[in-house]
């Protein structure tokens, strides 16, 4: 992770908390790939800026109908959110697709 020593320490604790708030989608579920992708963010500023949002809120904000997009990263996917349960599933998870 990058940032100052204090930022990195703080951001790691935030990321750990947010990871605990996100469900275990199960191995093989495309949503698990999106979760892994988000939790792999190494920018301390991202985690600090999103510290007041719940883990699922972060997932929902990052996911758009065009794919996963934030801070220069772009991962195309089709996201489907169940309006009753809030469960998110993905298809077409190709990080190189344009």
Domain ranges of the chain: 5-94
pLDDT at 13 over 80: yes
How far is C-alpha 66 from the chain's CA centre?
A: 15
pLDDT at 98: 42
22-68 confidence digits (pLDDT tens)? 888 777 766 777 788 788 888 899 899 999 998 888 877 766 544 55
Better-predicted residue by pLDDT, 6 or 76: 6
pLDDT at 70: 45
Q: Residue 76 to residues 13, 18, 63: CA-CA distances in angstroms?
A: 28, 23, 10
What is the overall mean pLDDT for the chain? 75
């Amino acid at each position: 992770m990058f940032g100052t020593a204090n930022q990195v320490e703080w951001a790691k604790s935030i990321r750990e908390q947010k990871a605990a708030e996100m469900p275990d989608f199960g191995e093989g579920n495309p949503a698990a790939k999106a979760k892994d992708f988000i939790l792999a963010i190494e920018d301390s500023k991202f985690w600090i800026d999103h510290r007041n949002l719940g883990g699922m809120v972060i997932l929902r904000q990052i996911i758009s109908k065009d794919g996963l997009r934030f801070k220069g990263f772009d991962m195309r996917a089709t996201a489907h959110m169940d309006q009753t349960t809030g469960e998110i599933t993905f298809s077409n998870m190709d990080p190189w697709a344009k």
